[in-house]
Amino acid sequence: MPETDIQTSKRLLRDHARTIRSALSPAQIEEKSASICRQLYKVLDGIDPVMVYVSKPLEVNTRDLIDYLIHRHGRIVVPIIERDTRTLRLSYIKNTSVLVKSTFHVHEPVGSEISASPDEVRAVIVPMLAFDHSGNRLGYGAGYYDRFLCNLPHIKKIGLAFSCQEVGCVPSEADDVKMDMVVTENGIFPCSRDSRFFAGDLPHHLNTLK
């Protein structure tokens, strides 16, 4: 089946976003990731359970965030990729030692799963290749998170990215799911009225995307 104009635009934007992100040095990625995760600590205060992606190289590093959520006695859920059906199943984890490299080189609690229901999750931390000021997200193209989130309006969606991944407009289709909030090293940016769900006393640098 030939690509639509939107699909072509998305593919080209993915290539561009990967190039921009790959220009970041390992030290920059770690510094920016630490800043992003520090801002998330207050946003997520009192929200339980939280679902967090386990980061791959070049993504916003979520390992410290996962450790923080575990040690604050909150419940933490991670996704497990179902490659055949292009869906996600969920598992609680009690420590990061259960994470092993699995599908697409993502670390997952394979063999140590504690089943979690999507209905229990209150907020999800989502990886992004690119994003815009309206909360439109560009992922890797397989649609795992869009399929997972489309029927779960109760889950508040927080996209993580570096500021260099912001673009003027992400091409969107009817089944693409927008983020309620985006967090970069430059701040916490609400994208919808649903962002009022999060901690009422957000950090003083809360603003809107420009």
**Is residue 200 over pLDDT 70?**
no
Q: Which range of residues forms the domain containing residue 166? A: 5-197
Locate 167 and state its tokens: 């673009």
CATH number at residue 163: 3.40.50.10420
Most confident of 22-36, 75-89, 133-147, 183-197: 22-36
Q: Do 187 and 169 touch, CB atoms closer than 8 A?
A: no
Residue 208 resides in a domain: no
What is the pLDDT, as a whole number, of residue 2?
Answer: 62
What is the pLDDT, as a whole number, of residue 159?
Answer: 97
* CA distances in angstroms from 11 to 35, 92, 93, 140, listed in the order given: 29, 33, 34, 9
Q: Do 127 and 160 touch, CB atoms closer than 8 A?
A: yes
What is the pLDDT, as a whole number, of residue 184?
Answer: 97
Confidence of residue 198 (pLDDT cuts 50, 70, 90): low
User: How many other C-beta atoms lie within 10 A of the C-beta of residue 12?
Assistant: 11
**Is residue 195 over pLDDT 70?**
no
**Is residue 14 over pLDDT 80?**
yes
Residue 205 resides in a domain: no
Radius of gyration of the chain, Cα coordinates, nearest whole angstrom: 16
Residue 202 resides in a domain: no
Residue 210 resides in a domain: no
Residue 204 resides in a domain: no
Q: Do 184 and 34 touch, CB atoms closer than 8 A?
A: no
Of 128, 141, 14, 143, give the one whose Cα is nearest residue 85: 143
Q: 106-165 pLDDT, tens per residue?
A: 999 988 999 999 999 999 999 999 999 999 999 998 899 999 999 899 999 999 999 999
Of 53, 201, 78, give the one whose Cα is nearest residue 139: 53
Confidence of residue 202 (pLDDT cuts 50, 70, 90): very low
Residue 209 resides in a domain: no
Of 147, 135, 152, 126, give the one whose Cα is nearest residue 55: 126
Give backbone dihedrals phi and psi of 36, rounded to 5 degrees, phi first.
Answer: -60, -45
What is the pLDDT, as a whole number, of residue 4?
Answer: 82
The count of domains in the chain is 1
**Is residue 208 over pLDDT 50?**
no
How does DSSP classify residue 2?
P
* CA distances in angstroms from 132 to 20, 156, 206, listed in the order given: 15, 18, 17
Per-residue pLDDT, averaged over 20-38, amounts to: 97
**Is residue 206 over pLDDT 60?**
no
Confidence of residue 203 (pLDDT cuts 50, 70, 90): very low
Torsion angle, alpha carbons of 160, 184, 48, 142, to 10: -10
Q: Tell me the pTM.
A: 0.89
